Structure 1
Amino acid sequence: PAKDLAEMLTGLYANLSGVDIRLVEELPKADPQAEPLLKPEQNQEKAVTEKEEVVYIAVDEKINAVLASGKANELDRISRLINDLTITIMDSEAEFRRYELKEADPEGLAKALLDIYARPEKTVIEDGKPTKVPQPPKIVAVADPRTRSVIVRAEPLDFDFIEQIIKELDTVGAPQVEMRFFVLRNAKPEDAITHLEDFFKELKEVRPGEPLEAKPDKRTKSVVVVARPEMLEKIGEVIERIDVPPEFAEADVLIINLR
């Protein structure tokens, strides 16, 4: 919604850019009697008026739009940011968070997040023929090179794992990692995680610094793993050994008397 974007701009973006952004009911109208700006070569301290140092943001809820007024260069940055953050339709509970980086390149890390959370193309039937249709990304990640930050828009439940990924990637010489969903047929995700953590602990003793993260996803009854591509195959084999039917199954017995 436009209102959420406006609140994000006045809060998160204003803090990271240092620009004074104000949310108003209506954009200020231009004053035709205002004095013209002084030229830079005149060496005047008041070459820029207060209004030009502020970006004003207003929301038109009727058309679900964000209106802005301010310096052209800041409006260009805001426009690009809004376009990037609204390329996908997600749950209304989606949040914005900013992550300052120490080592990683913001653009490279944003691309890595998008690649990790990319959704496979969906096959649909059009005119009697199967056609692959691109799916919107699960998250949106936008780089801000000026502040060495990455702005992420995602659902609240995804941020714990996103922060783990960023922590792994924001190190000197961080290895390339991928994310994979392993759907379980028999084992519970939380039980599978317990076994995987034991496996990861043993592996990290042999290979200190090996990027290995896993979490249960009850919504899809799966285990989400982040690791190097060559490690995912081995982890998949471990999950296959874990995901076996139990020896004894619980069942309810109903006795029906027949006449």
Structure 2
Amino acid sequence: MGCIQSIRCKPKRFRDSIIVQEVNTSIDPNPTSIDESSSVVLRYRTPHFRAQARVLVPPVAGKESWTIGWIQACNHMEFYNTYGNKGMSSWELPDLRDGKIQAISDSDGVNYPWYGNTTETCTVVGPTKKDSKFTVSMNDNFYPSVTWGVPVSDSNVPQLSSIRRDQSFTTWLVAINQATSETLVLQTIRWRMRLHIQVDPKKPLAHRAVLNEPVAQEQPQILGKNEPIPSNAMVKPNANDAQVLMWRPKNGDPVVVIPPKY
């Protein structure tokens, strides 16, 4: 029994004593929905990725405060809209595309590095006398607008013929010490969203677009071994501010349609 006793006698470091009681993650089973109500843009809405964790934080002895919540980064993005034989527009993350970085923050752009600060995080402010139990949750999906017409022309003649998207994300459940910035990765999730929409621009509005694949997304993976968070996934810019809309014509040079915000 001596060994067990000696472990008991040694006060556990706080970082060893946060308990993740349960983690659930899924992508909703419904297919991507397509909205052709606008004569200017096609909109589509993908199913939601969801993650939820029940966490138990033991009493915090000192005046430390810890925030526990979700951080997400995009590891890969392909987002191509083809316009017949004219060319394609694509949303791109230049540093990720060129391999300069491995991932980019997918924070809400306000509460870096967190994905959000409503249901996504919880802060435990010490000293506390008893266990703190709480749930943190997040969800994510895509709801973009894609112009029917070539984005660099003044004409609104429908020429959109295909939309392809393939994006990968890593989502971490993390505890961060507010004073020291010590960061503990508690859980790592990987997920991916893919879609292919075929469009016949000659057909009348509301009858043009068909979802080819996939009807159901592959479900997220909870990794057995946690992955570290790349440093640039913790800081500005986030994916929304860094992305650029390019026009890549069949003939001629690429054009920046919408520059990055950042």
TM bucket, shorter chain: under 0.3
* TM-score normalized with structure 2 length: 0.20
* TM-score normalized with structure 1 length: 0.20
Higher relative contact order (CA 8 A, sep 6+): 2
Between Structure 1 and Structure 2, which shows a larger proportion of strand residues? 2
Bigger radius of gyration: 1
